Amino acid sequence: MGTRLGGSLAVLLLRPAAARRRRAPGASSSSPQSAAQLRAVLEQVDEALRKGEDEAALSLVRASRGEDAGLRGFGAARQVPQRLYKLDELKLNGIDTSAFLSPVDRTLGSIERNLQIAAVLGGLSISPALELSQLQILFIVLGLLSLWSVDFVYFGGGVRNLILDTIGHYISQKYHDRVIQHEAGHFLIAYLLGVLPKGYTITSLDTLIKQGSLNVQAGTAFVDYEFVEEIKTGKMSATMLNKFSCIALAGVATEYLLYGIAEGGLADINKLDELLNGVGFTQKKADSQVRWAVLNTVLMLRRHQKAILQLAEAMSSGKSVGSCIEVIEGNINTEDI
């Protein structure tokens, strides 16, 4: 099922779902004592996550929510009302869906093409020196193509992705930054919606070392046992589906807001399509769900642009989940979470 955003047009103004959340005067979350207490709690969260105690980590975070406890942002995001949104409403909010939901990684595509050209030119230049016959050159080419095919069949193109991603991070600062900001988008939106991140990777090599996955460029993992339990029952609540939809689109939304177009995140969109198809949504209902999630996610990210940039910097430095949460709490827009 391919999710579309098109539909009949109508010009409607958006209204907030709830009044803005304002920090109470004299809130203690900014005092040195409360900051130290919060840091101690987040260190416990990190320790629980390291031990694989996801439920304990989530319980710690939930117990620390609110002004007095210190975690003001966890699950506190204001969201737009869920209803059928028309394409014009997204355009009124500055969202061009054509640059949003069909991401093509031009950076890695360019690197792959250049490698192919370099390989051909290199082969032609050294073949006379090695005194290779045309038949030997043909066998070498066929051998390389066979290895490429084996990678696609047995590893899903994982070796190819590993090579291209590693080169991309090394030679392109823009690609490196974009991947980090993409993952920061997933992390931030999940946190604001009350889903606890439990880890992240920035490169394919990092993912291979930490998780043993060969065909993933980068990724953010979450404490998702509640989601898994709902999947097992065959029934998913609207609340859980809404959270998953926004988190899935958060990476491409972040890229779109920062660069005007998304290049990464096709796998995220495909996963959302599969989920909506799996719960039995018609195409019309899936389109409506995606349009709402796009609008909701983009508006949340716009309110917290400072937080997303600071979070990306923290993730680039390899900070722990607890430290990343502390960065979010120190930079979110407390006047309108």
Q: pLDDT digit string (tens) for 177-195?
A: 999 999 999 999 999 999 9
DSSP per-residue letters across 249-314: HHHHHHHHHHHSS--S-HHHHHHHHHHHHHTT--HHHHHHHHHHHHHHHHHHHHHTHHHHHHHHHH
Mean pLDDT, residues 246-254 taken together: 96
263, amino acid identity: E
In the chain, % of residues over pLDDT 70: 74
pLDDT grade, residue 16 (50/70/90)? Answer: very low
Given this model, what pLDDT does residue 19 score? 37
pLDDT at 72 over 60: yes
Mean pLDDT, residues 314-326 taken together: 96
pLDDT at 34 over 50: yes
Asked if residues 188 and 251 have their Cβ atoms less than 8 Å apart, the reply is no
For tokens 């590893």, the residue is 155
pLDDT at 121 over 70: no
Tokens of 159: 């070796």
Given this model, what pLDDT does residue 334 score? 80
Given this model, what pLDDT does residue 276 score? 93
Quick one: how far is CA 248 from the chain centroid?
6
Given this model, what pLDDT does residue 133 score? 66
Q: Quick one: which H or E segment has residue 36?
A: helix 32-50
Given this model, what pLDDT does residue 126 score? 63
